[in-house]
Amino acid sequence: MALVLTIAPVLYLRFMPPATSAFMLRRSLAHLVSRQGIPIRYRWTGWAQISPSMRVAVVAAEDQKFPHHWGFDFESIAGAIEDQGPRHRVRGASTITQQVAKNLFLWEGRSYIRKGLEAYFTVLLELFWPKRRILEVYLNIAEFGDGTHGVYAAAKTFFGKHPSELTPSEAALLAAVLPNPKRLHANTPSPYVEERARWIEEQMEQLGGAYLHRL
């Protein structure tokens, strides 16, 4: 029964746009019940309506091995463990697939139970979804600003344009805020965001426009 209850939504969402995500739902409920936070901005946008620069930008910023791995970047995980700080907190090494699994189906937190479920859903996504679908959903549910989920809401809110019109520099700015979208801003970038965006643009050029063509 547990397998059916988990595999069924994964198969359904392979073909249907998510109406929301676990992260968005939790914040929406909090806003509705206690007026905490701000309303969620979200609108689904299909692959063909997203700038190719935006597709490459998030991969360059978050997971350059995305087209090649099976959901886990074990080299980055090992490096993160080696670089852990004095409080033994491991820096992030999540792939795009892991982030989709967490944001779409799970809750925030660092418990072993949640990490185990994240790994489980990551395997399901890699088994049942093509890479293009994983990236398409990621681009639609990732948070690019406080309450701003998905590239459509981000492009409209921060640059006043459709996501198909985003330039490479704008795409790099949006990707640059992904580590902490509540504190970092694409439309009023700090020196850190500007520097990170420049690095992402360099990575985009090195990866090339055909990098994701086979997805």
Residue 58 within a domain: yes
Helix (H) or strand (E) holding 127: helix 112-128
- Three-state secondary-structure class, residue 13: helix
| Among 92, 66, 95, 97, CA closest to 79 | 92
What pTM did the predictor assign? 0.90
Tell me what pLDDT residue 46 has. 97
Residue 59 within a domain: yes
- Three-state secondary-structure class, residue 86: coil
| Count of domains observed in the chain | 1
Residue 56 within a domain: yes
Tell me what pLDDT residue 93 has. 73
Exposure string for 77-106, b = 16+ CB within 10 A, e = fewer = eeeeeeeeeeeeeeeebbbbbbbbbbbbbb
Q: Which domain holds residue 167?
A: 50-136+163-207
Indicate if the alpha-carbon torsion angle 68, 213, 14, 100 is positive or negative: positive
Residue 32 within a domain: no
**pLDDT digit of tens for each residue in the chain (215 aa)?**
778 889 999 999 999 999 999 999 988 887 677 766 678 999 999 999 999 999 999 999 999 999 999 999 877 665 554 555 544 444 457 999 999 999 999 987 778 889 999 999 999 999 999 999 999 999 999 999 999 999 999 999 999 999 999 999 999 999 999 999 999 999 999 999 999 999 999 999 998 766 777 67
The domain spanning residue 66 has which CATH number?
A: 1.10.3810.10
Tell me what pLDDT residue 101 has. 97
The Cα–Cα gap between 32 and 18 comes to 20
Tell me what pLDDT residue 37 has. 67
Q: Do residues 12 and 34 make contact, with C-beta atoms less than 8 angstroms apart?
A: no
Residue 191 within a domain: yes
Residue 107 within a domain: yes
Residue 141 within a domain: no
Residue 155 within a domain: no
